[in-house]
Amino acid sequence: MGRSRSAVVLLTILLLAASMRLLFLDADPPLGLRDSGPYHDEGQYTHNARNMALFGVWETDEYNNMYISPILNGLTFLSFRLFGVGHWQARLVIALFSLGTLVCLYAGMRKMGSARLALLAVALLAIDSYFLIYSRVALMDVPTVFWMTLAFCGWQYAVTGDTWGALVAGMAAAMAWVFKSLALPFLAAPFLALGLFSFLQQQNRSDLRRT
């Protein structure tokens, strides 16, 4: 598939994905849900950003989620400051991280394989129901996935000779932990991948010497 055609297909997928994520962001959860799913935590995760936007102070009580995810809290406050306080303003930050995840996935998959494979991966993730639901609620999960996907993308560039990719992968893995503490085990991923890659390279060199 040519570059121009790939670019057109990718742009089409991203536009469709954007429409699914950005339209009616303040809508209520779908009727018929058996439980509230991810919809019940938005208030507590945007609590401090809302406090600052409405009252001029970050803390109004003892619940302060900004210490758990300070950067996301700051981005949410920025959205509130620019567009007002509301559901869609809080969810806008997450929707943009979701679209960024799709771009990073394409870049990483394209580096390791064909354009068709990369486009297929992006299309499948764009319409995945769980990812789509979480892309429309103000939680920490999708921003964390964005940094994980950026780490994957950086790693793919690193193994093909772009040394800056390793730096991007390491920093992105750290940012995943900064955005959500439960992502702490992911910090080991770049180092494990580097160790495995080095081991496989050594094995290949040994095989070449034998032949």
- Closest Cα partner for 64 from 77, 78, 79, 45? 45
Is the confidence at residue 208, as pLDDT, over 70? Answer: no
Is the confidence at residue 89, as pLDDT, over 90? Answer: yes
- Each residue of 30-85: pLDDT tens digit? 777 666 667 778 888 999 999 999 999 999 988 888 888 899 999 999 999 999 99
Only one residue has tokens 């609620």, namely 137
Cα–Cα distance for residue pair 68/84, rounded to 1 Å: 23
Model pLDDT, residue 35 = 63
Model pLDDT, residue 206 = 64
- Other beta carbons within 10 Å of 192: 9
- Each residue of 129-186: pLDDT tens digit? 899 999 999 999 999 999 999 999 998 888 887 888 888 988 998 999 999 888 888 8
Q: What is the dihedral of CA 9, 27, 150, 174, to 10 degrees?
A: 180
Only one residue has tokens 């990719």, namely 165
* Region 106-115 average pLDDT: 90
Exposure class string for 167-183: b at 16+ Cβ within 10 A, else e = ebbbebbbbbbbbbeeb
Dump strand ranges (E) for 71-197. Answer: none
210 pLDDT tier (thresholds 50, 70, 90): low
Model pLDDT, residue 28 = 81
The pTM for the full model equals: 0.88
CA 137 → CA 1, 78, 118, 195, 203, distances in Å?
35, 17, 26, 37, 46
- Each residue of 159-175: pLDDT tens digit? 887 888 888 988 998 99
